Amino acid sequence: MAELILLTRPDCGLCETFYAELAAAFPDIAPRLRIADVDWSEDWRARFGLRIPVLVSDGAVICEAVFDEGRMRAWIEGD
């Protein structure tokens, strides 16, 4: 499985909700998920700065703003 990165910011309630929903729907994936501050990378900040939370894999957006279980399932099945 490709690396999954959840781009967030500290104290982001929407980010916390996104992660909680992802972890509930896919508990086996949550431990392998990398959570990163979008401001850590200039590229991430430029591309996703106002769109967090964003779940990405290999630069492709899987979900943004709200967790979408259907899109996540489609990504898993296509991976």
Mean pLDDT of 5-10: 95
20: in domain: yes
Mean pLDDT value of segment 62-76 = 94
Whether 60 maps to a domain, the answer reads yes
Position 1 confidence tier, pLDDT thresholds 50, 70, 90: low
Q: What residue numbers bound the domain in which 46 lies?
A: 14-78
Residue 50 has pLDDT above 90, yes or no: no
Determine, yes or no, domain membership for 51. Answer: yes
CATH number at residue 49: 3.40.30.10
Indicate whether 57 belongs to any domain.
yes
pTM for the predicted model, two decimal places: 0.90
How many percent of the chain have pLDDT more than 90?
A: 77
User: Which pairs with CB-CB distance under 8 Å and at least 24 residues apart come from 13-22?
Assistant: 14/52, 14/53, 14/65, 14/66, 15/52, 15/53, 17/67, 18/53, 18/55, 18/63, 18/66, 18/67, 19/53, 21/67, 21/69, 22/55, 22/67, 22/72
pLDDT of residue 59: 84
In the predicted structure, residue 79 carries a pLDDT above the cut 80: no
